Structure 1
Amino acid sequence: MKPANAEQSLPTTAAHSPSTPVRWALTSLALSTLLASLGASVATVGLPVLAEAFEASFAQVQWVVLAYLLAITTLIVSVGRLGDLLGRRKLLLAGIALFTLASALCALAPSLWWLVAARALQGLGAAIMMTLTLALVGETVEKSRTGSAMGLLATLSAVGTALGPSLGGLLITGFGWHALFLINVPLGLLTLLLAWRFLPVVPRPIAIGRLRFDGLGTLLLATGLGAYTLAMTVGRTSFGWLNSGLLLVAVISGGLFVQVQRRLDSPLIPLAMFRDRPLVSGLAASALVAAVMMATLLVGPFYLSITLGLPPAIVGLVLAVGPCVAALAGVPAGRLADRFGVRPMRLAGLATMVLGTLLLSRIPPTQGIAGYVLAIAVTTLGYALFQPANNAAVMAPVSDDKRGVVAGLLNLSRNLGFLSGASVLGAVFAAVLPTNGISVASPEDVTNGMHLTFAAGLALTALAWLISAATRVPERLKQSAERTSKR
């Protein structure tokens, strides 16, 4: 049964403020983004408690986080394509329902491996939610307001990431580890109700309905991405034969995937899409800056605790500065992209990140907390300015039949950037530290490691700026920005 407002949910004329149904539709998309990011971050704080509850080792209990990450990374493109074929609204509703059900199964888990399996299901629901919220923006708001909508989603993603550890600590203290997952159930039901009631029903073109889902391509892509994800995450302290073998599997699967895509009439990812320079530059820039942002999460705690000698409570507060800046800047950044255009704001964001990583690569310990907070705030502000503009630049020109798969590719580029940043920039940081471990590293060692890591991050961010500067904005986006700025 269609919602009563389905046919009137999409605005027909430009307006300064969206109608009430559109606002509630955006609320459902924002809550979906919040739940997906909260699901990733809230469980991390509970790993020690879960290890004790299930009498498991760290190597075993880390699969609670890894299963969620693997499900998202391996399936995020496929669910985007499936949304293009089956209908994005319908699949998003199914994803929210699956995420909510899986959250309840996590809370009821009688064993660790039951919990891991439920987390994988939860990750599948999160993959659907992360991908289709981006894709559905184009069906919910006008192109001239795409930046604002992307900014809202970026804000809620940052809020979920920042809220997870602190909220998780409160839930564990007050109600036990089960509450980490039960909290998602009422939020999931509310999101499902809002999405069912207010998301517009957009009929699919007949041509889209005749396309078939690429099962073999999905299997090969999932195998390749899964192998790459495991290669970048297992054995964090060393890179051995297992990691090399997994990378080999990823390369072989990727090569077979390309061959299969070339031969199909209805491929999972039409390879011709990669001739589109704005798309490729947006994906590349997204991956590069995600790698740098992961380095801030990876290196920051060691610098604060070892070099500056801060206690854990203060370290946690300082680490919350970055997500808070991203949360506060997300919506204004989206509005600036609508007003001034996506290309200027993308370049401004990357230039700000260049300044921030330069500060991080040279900051002396004598500047203390204030110096670190300033550098992180500048870096995160740049990321907050870049992300909505980049997402809008990638998504706005995409035709309706490819919006889901492009949204999946956009999320995938960010996830692969996070994974690669953790592995590659983590290795750069470790190269400066003593070979017998971080526990015996001196403050000078950690400072030198951070400087070298962010010197590499500075190079990556500058490369992202050059890629974006060399790419022209599609004319449709220019016209949308010009119309908005004249109002």
Structure 2
Amino acid sequence: MSSPHDGVPLPQRYWAILVIALGVSMAVLDGAIANVALPTIARDLNASPASSIWVVNAYQLAITVSLLAFSSLGDIIGYKRIYQWGLAVFTLTSVGCALSDSLTTLTIARILQGFGAAAIMSVNTALIRVIYPKAQLGRGMGFNSLLVALSSAAGPTIAAAILSLTSWQWLFAINLPIGLVAWLVALRALPANPHKVSHRFDIRSALLNALTFGLLIFSVDGFGHGESPLLVGGMLMVSLAVGYVFVRRQLSLAAPLLPVDLLRIPLFGLSVGTSICSFTAQMLALVSLPFYLQSLGYGPAQIGLLMTPWPLVIMAVAPLSGRLVEKYSPGLLGAVGLALFAAGLLSLALLPAQPSYLDIVWRMALCGVGFGFFQSPNNFAMLSSAPPHRSGGASGMLGTARLLGQTTGASLVALLFTLFPHHGTHTGLIVGAAFALSAAGVSCLRMTNGAGRVAAGH
């Protein structure tokens, strides 16, 4: 028998899944399409290539500094309300992006759009936990991973198609009808929180969190791009000092913004570590590979096609691993997947001097198989190991771990390119494989920390 809060009844569940699908797809797509459009945007707005990167960075930074705050608010005032606000802000600021006539106005609009995306992402997995029955939570996570992979894979293609037909403004304007439909359906379909909490929102912790992660990202990014050591070191020291005060404050709270108390749960803490290492490996590879393939003589269109097997295979594997985690330990599935991922990265680093298309494609596919087997079980382990009334905090920690790993990976690539100007791409893939193997090792530890019991305990 299902409990009163064991999932949302049909057909409401299908409508709720549709809302989640539309929101997540928009948030992920807008991160991917902006990268492709940067040269066009820079030219139209008379901006330098270096300054135009803020169109991407501003969006990511806004998400990173506000994700945990929105997660906490979700626990307090409801995941549904935060998700609806996120959809509204994201949709309206997308119109602002489309109407921007300078780099400054576009950057401001992207910052606000990033806050909307953060609200969507912060409670996304918490809502999945409420929407799906406990016995189907694994496949819900698998479907969500499928959506993220599909959106990431389709982003460059959609951007190229729109830019070939019309102006870059339509990349953002297209969010208006999609966001409006999602918001209207959300009013009726999304469920309320099954668990009530009594604590208040901690504004001081939210400010300390924004300062800690904001300065940390700026310092890591500056280190990777060769900024002044004095400036980078200063930002890092201030970030560590503020972070110390932030963590000390969280340890004294019953329901902290940064869920440090959840990190004491072995399965949760190990899953966070696995996530950070694996997403660092992923970004090391995804940033290095285009330059690597370019050095082998491939053009932009060929590079895009050759990298497509990676997300395509994730799309096939993620739902499968989401079902397998209902029967097998997420620690085991994650370890196997990350070992395959590491093998794929090493095989790419050892490509022959004149590889055929097949040589590259099967290696990309192997990376996709490995990453797809890791992602859904890891998300499942992290969310299911947290108490139900802390689902918002767990959801925010999941997103923060991913963003921290991706930021670290991108900055490490820039550093490796500086240290090894002739072998930076090879080195990036090898270092990525090392991070993937480290993540596999951490995942193995979960097999002795209750992961099997969580997976089977439905």
TM range (shorter): over 0.9
Confirm or deny: 8 A CA contact 2:5 2:130 kept in the other structure: no
Confirm or deny: 8 A CA contact 2:142 2:320 kept in the other structure: yes
Q: Normalising by the residue count of structure 1, what TM-score does the alignment of the two structures yield? A: 0.88
Q: Does 1:262 align with 2:251?
A: yes
Instruction: Give the CA deviation at 1:57.
Output: 1.4
Q: Does 1:147 align with 2:138?
A: yes
**What is aligned with 2:301?**
313
Cα distance in 2, alignment partners of residues 213 and 323 from structure 1:
38
Map 1:114-133 to 2 at 5 A.
Answer: 114-133=105-124
Distance 1:243 1:370, change over 3 A: farther
Map 1:69-84 to 2 at 5 A.
Answer: 69-84=60-75
Q: Does 1:32 align with 2:15?
A: no
Confirm or deny: 8 A CA contact 2:29 2:152 kept in the other structure: yes
Q: Does 1:409 align with 2:400?
A: no
Gaps of 5+ in 1: 1-6, 13-17, 434-444
**Which among 88, 101, 104 is matched to residue 113 of structure 1?**
104
Q: Does 1:199 align with 2:199?
A: no
Instruction: Give the CA deviation at 1:454.
Output: 2.5
**Which among 456, 467, 483 is matched to residue 431 of structure 2?**
456
Confirm or deny: 8 A CA contact 1:95 1:128 kept in the other structure: yes
Instruction: Give the CA deviation at 1:44.
Output: 1.4
Instruction: Give the CA deviation at 1:321.
Output: 2.3
Instruction: Give the CA deviation at 1:239.
Output: 3.8
Cα distance in 2, alignment partners of residues 231 and 160 from structure 1:
30
Q: Which amino acid aligns with 1:424?
A: L
Cα distance in 2, alignment partners of residues 62 and 349 from structure 1:
33
Q: Does 1:292 align with 2:281?
A: yes
**What is aligned with 1:356?**
344
Q: Does 1:92 align with 2:83?
A: yes
Aligned length: 455
Q: Could you give the per-residue CA deviations for residues 326-350 of structure 1, whole angstroms, max 9, x where no partner exists?
A: 2232222212222434233222212
Distance 1:392 1:42, change over 3 A: same
Distance 1:152 1:270, change over 3 A: closer
Confirm or deny: 8 A CA contact 1:30 1:152 kept in the other structure: no
Map 1:16-415 to 2 at 5 A.
Answer: 19-205=10-196, 208=197, 210-234=198-222, 237-241=225-229, 242-306=231-295, 308-415=296-403
Confirm or deny: 8 A CA contact 2:274 2:439 kept in the other structure: yes
Q: Could you give the per-residue CA deviations for residues 52-81 of structure 1, whole angstroms, max 9, x where no partner exists?
A: 222111232211111100011111111111
Gaps of 5+ in 2: none
Cα distance in 2, alignment partners of residues 230 and 315 from structure 1:
30
Distance 1:348 1:173, change over 3 A: same
Distance 1:339 1:471, change over 3 A: closer
Confirm or deny: 8 A CA contact 1:340 1:481 kept in the other structure: yes
Q: Which amino acid aligns with 2:235?
A: L
Runs of 4+ with >6 A deviation: none
**What is the root-mean-square deviation in Å for CA atoms of aligned residues?**
2.3
Q: Which amino acid aligns with 2:332?
A: P
Instruction: Give the CA deviation at 1:357.
Output: 2.4
Confirm or deny: 8 A CA contact 1:71 1:123 kept in the other structure: yes
Instruction: Give the CA deviation at 1:213.
Output: 1.0
Q: Which amino acid aligns with 1:43?
A: A
Instruction: Give the CA deviation at 1:150.
Output: 0.8
Cα distance in 2, alignment partners of residues 88 and 339 from structure 1:
29
